[in-house]
Amino acid sequence: MRALDLESLAGRPITEIFVGLADYVCPGAGTVDEGIAREAYIETIVELASEGLTDLTTFTPDQMQTVFELYATHAIEARICNDIGTKAVTMPTDAQAAHRVEQQLRDFIRGGVSDALTRARAETPNLTPERIQGFVDAVYESAFAILQTLGDAEANQ
């Protein structure tokens, strides 16, 4: 059984880091899972680059946790976007309202991932794929429920 050790990823090449993270956040060989992993990978790289954080060889273990949090956040957002695309949940029709919901959801997801990862790493620095998938799924389910509630409220107006 493999476990994710964020400290061992510190200082590794960027491609190695993200390939390693993809195995834990989006396991499975299905095309949807691969698309979600790829989307999260790209969004994380874009976000890091926009912040000027491109030399991952100098990252500390705490910075590696931030990279993982970003990646997991983007993976959860991509799963929710997939749900929107399959009409499992709806977004507000007003563009400004949809943008506000998107920002609130992103903040909620990022906070949920950060809290869950901090709690999990307090127990052990090495995280198994099952533990990671457990908290990613829990944050996803909470975010999905919030989005569904907001969508229902919008539909009833």
CA gap 25, 133 in Å, rounded: 6
Residue whose structure tokens are 């107006």: 157
Q: Average pLDDT per run of 10 along the chain, which is 157 residues long?
A: 74 73 65 82 84 79 87 94 81 81 91 93 86 92 89 68
pTM of the predicted protein model: 0.76
Task: Tell me which DSSP letter residue 93 carries.
Answer: S
pLDDT at 149: 85
User: 75, 70, 43: which is closest to 59 by C-alpha?
Assistant: 70
Tokens 């993976």, located at residue? 75
According to the model, what pLDDT value does residue 1 have? 46
Q: Are 49 and 18 in contact (CB under 8 A)?
A: no
pLDDT at residue 50, as a whole number: 81
